[in-house]
Amino acid sequence: MKLKLTGVIILLIVIIAVLAYINKDTLVEKQQLNNDAIFVVLDKGNEIASYNMDQIITFGENKFKANLKADGKESVEYEYTGVLLKAILEDAGVEFDGKETAIISAIDGYVVAVSIEKLMEDDNVYLAFKREGDWLATREEGGRGPYQMIIRKDKFSQYWCKYAYSVELN
Ligand SMILES: Nc1nc2c(c(=O)[nH]1)N[C@H]1C(S)=C(S)[C@@H](COP(=O)(O)O)O[C@H]1N2
Ligand SMILES: [Mo]
């Protein structure tokens, strides 16, 4: 009886160790996926700058709260980490004069337009990469990242852009 119990305990320890090992590998892979995630700035359809996650993070890891309203669900407030979208555009050296809208495009073909007036506001239009301290999962993983454009002051999130890939001023 005692021997049986010891056997079960050892088996459980082995299972836990294997699961921890597998999980460690997926964490490393996830980190890699996030590092490789690219966000591009376009001008008249041409790529003028491109950033990976390491470069995006150099614009600051700003924490802010915003309300995510998933379809058919109650809205939930989360703490996101991201950079102001305008900071990326300024770094890329885009011309703001005479432009009216920022067009954010996603890998699923979704496109969101944000007025330049809104884009230039303090603490509003972000490119987020973490939620509650964790990297945003990719579309393949069932997430909304690796980059998600978030309009912090919006009461609901229908004008946000999941899997954001590029921005262009028009
Ligand atoms: N890339 C992308 N972003 C998107 C959408 C989409 O289909 N693709 N849907 C929008 C809509 S209609 C809503 S309500 C919000 C929230 O969608 P979710 O519930 O899938 O998070 O994301 C917005 N951003
Ligand atoms: Mo929606």
* pLDDT, mean of each 10-residue run, the chain (170 residues): 88 90 74 82 96 96 95 93 98 96 96 98 97 95 96 93 97
Q: How far is the CA of 163 from the centre of ligand 1 (A)?
A: 10
Does residue 152's CB lie within 6 angstroms of at least one atom of ligand 1? no
- The pTM assigned to this predicted structure is 0.85
The domains located in the chain, with CATH, are 36-169 (3.90.420.10)
- Report the distance separating Cα 162 and Cα 110, nearest Å: 8
- Report the distance separating Cα 14 and Cα 35, nearest Å: 32
Which pLDDT score, from 0 to 100, does residue 2 have? 81
Alpha-carbon distances of 61 from 39, 118, 164, rounded to whole Å: 16, 21, 18
Which pLDDT score, from 0 to 100, does residue 70 have? 87
* CA angle (7, 12, 18) in 5-degree steps: 125
Which pLDDT score, from 0 to 100, does residue 21 have? 84
| Residue pair 102/167 in contact by the 8 Å Cβ criterion | yes
Closest ligand by atom to 163 CA: 1
